Structure 1
């Protein structure tokens, strides 16, 4: 196995996986290498955990969509999913329609059995901003590593860091964001402001040792859900989730949502299609600050958004980490060398100056 030592380190250091715990591995079939990676994770996991399950499902084609039925069954068992289907709730959950989370939780708590202690999720399309992840971590105490767009080369860069130091910086930034009430971002082609008043920031430290801990691997960011109707201004981006754009595109925000997209890259057509299908996909969802000193790659947003000194702004779903917007779409866009001001009642702070942290 090519990556055995790195996977073992991930299990031991990042997840604190114990021999008496159960492990679930999930991925999709978007990229051919994911099947081989799944098998390597599985073989190493069998040496470290009493029981390991794995599942690979058909690509969903979009970040933020709920995992398919077979993943829910593998995780919770057939009984609760059948009950959710009989009640009409499962379809609404999968489609991110309006539903009572309390009703769903009640059924899952009553019927679910033998849940995994640890989940490693590395489908190409992200499961981070899903109710599936939220209910597992918040209500069942599962430790959850989300690794969308992960490529094995990341083991040699942003995964090979001092996680204690990444955690220290990430927690410090999260405290500042939580105290703040407003944010202003300036960069080349970007001048954007919005409110974060009353929202709680989260540090993605890469160390998921306590019940309910979750985040990305590679990790290294602090993030917060902006107030959904508060964003005004413009944001220019050079990269999509997995490639450099042919030419820059600019989002124009009004009342918290993307009112217009300017640019000629084909990605504009894709976003316009998403917005036509899901109006709430236009809504500002997240502000994140990168804290990983070994993150360098710019054409893969999983690593790019962790680059120390960058910020990223997402649109779409944020209901799983403190916001109220529920939609089957969430995508982050990285801003390089930003100058960022954060303030509250009677104070303001120069937080980043042209990509240099001021903390």
Structure 2
């Protein structure tokens, strides 16, 4: 994080797992050896990835006045529920009334805050350096956190540039065949180095990612793992016009995801393509680490409005594809980016 002694730091987590409260205290103690301006918040678990943090986090981050003014304008609950609201008006209020905003935020609740308006405002409009660590487990310090971050940063940045230049993508793997457009979208690198204003990403880091055009995906995606476990049996998501139109399989996760689709129709849409670049990421049953495994890709559905897309919904989940072949191209060119899980960069 390149934390400096004069900087304000905010640590946030939820109460989903007991060890997260232990981590909160340990991170707090370590932070205090560098800066005396460290605050911490533990809040009640929200139950899904991509939901906005609750009111107490907004208060600690921006101050009481921001929340009060957002409520007066009728915006606060709409933001928390990811309903239609004016981002411009919200940002104007936050900028006007914000006080003592931290320079560094380390967010390690069980459920992710990466794809939230909260994170977007902090990094884009306040230049906050933001580490998002959903599903983090302490033993990750001895695996995917213990890497050459300069090497990971360079590889991730090189692939992100290829994604930016590309217009279309074709993905194939066992029981998976998917194509979609990335024309006009920007690729991003999750480097693990958050030294400059506005830098953000995961820890452990190690991927390049992009938001596909939401209505462009066609084909099928077969997955073996949910966010935190191996499925009892594979399930297949069938895409048409960018959205999952059918879910096939017998694992209980099918009922879970279909229930989400009934609650949030726009959760069906393709949200992200990511390419893993971390050489020490190994664990498949934890999506935070799994999506970083070098030679894998992941496809997400749900929210992507915080990194170049237009879909706004309180849900974002990634699904990893192992040993994929990925071809990316544009007008007059194409590149074999991965061949059966081997990077060609």
Shorter chain as denominator, the TM-score bin is: over 0.9
Q: Give the Cα–Cα distance (whole angstroms) in 1 for the partners of residues 42 and 187 of structure 2.
A: 32
Q: Which residue of 2 aligns with 1:198?
A: 184
Cα distance, 1:253 vs structure 2: 0.1
Secondary structure, aligned partner of 1:296: coil
Q: SS of the counterpart of 2:26? A: helix
Residue 328 (1) aligns with residue 341 (2): no
Report how far residue 197 of structure 1 moved.
0.2
- Compute the RMSD of aligned alpha carbons: 0.4
Question: Structure 2: any 5+ residue segments left out of the alignment?
Answer: none
Q: Could you give the per-residue CA deviations for residues 160-206 of structure 1, whole angstroms, max 9, x where no partner exists?
A: 00000000000000010000000000000100000000000100000
Is residue 223 of structure 2 the alignment partner of residue 269 of structure 1? no
In structure 1, stretches of 5+ residues that fail to align are 1-14
Alignment match, 1:177: 163
Q: Aligned partners of 1:219 and 1:92: how far apart in 2?
A: 31
Aligned to 1:250: 236
The match for 2:200 is 214
Deviating above 3 A after TM superposition, structure 1's stretches of 4 or more consecutive aligned residues are none
- Show CA shifts across 1:325-359 (max 9, x none): 00000000000000000000001111100000111
Q: CA deviation at 1:98?
A: 0.6
The Cα shift of 1:110 comes to 0.5
Which deviations, in whole Å up to 9, do the C-alpha atoms of 1:294-345 show, x marking residues without a partner? Answer: 0000000000000000000000000000000000000000000000000000
- In structure 2, the residue corresponding to 1:61 is in which secondary structure? coil
Q: Which residue of 2 aligns with 1:27?
A: 13
Question: 2:117 aligned with 1:134, yes or no?
Answer: no
- Residues in 1 aligned to 2:302 and 2:206: alpha-carbon distance in whole angstroms: 21
Residue in 2 aligned with 1:92? 78
Q: Distance in 2 between matches of 1:110 and 1:75?
A: 14
What secondary structure does 2:162 align onto?
helix
- TM-superposed CA distance for 1:50, in Å, is 2.7
Q: 2:290 aligns with which of 259, 279, 304?
A: 304
Instruction: Write out per-residue CA displacement over residues 213-263 of structure 1, whole angstroms, 9 at most, x where no aligned residue.
Output: 000000000000000000000000000000000000000000000000000
Distance 1:156 1:179 in 2: 35
**Does residue 104 of structure 1 match 2:90?**
yes
SS at match of 2:33: helix
Equivalent residues, number: 345
1:351 corresponds to 2:334: no
TM-score for both structures, normalised by structure 1: 0.96
Residue 109 of structure 2: which of 123, 128, 139 is its match?
A: 123
User: In the TM superposition, what whole-angstrom CA distance separates every residue of 1:16-75 from its partner, at most 9, and x where no partner exists?
Assistant: 000111100000000011111100000111111130000000000000000000000010
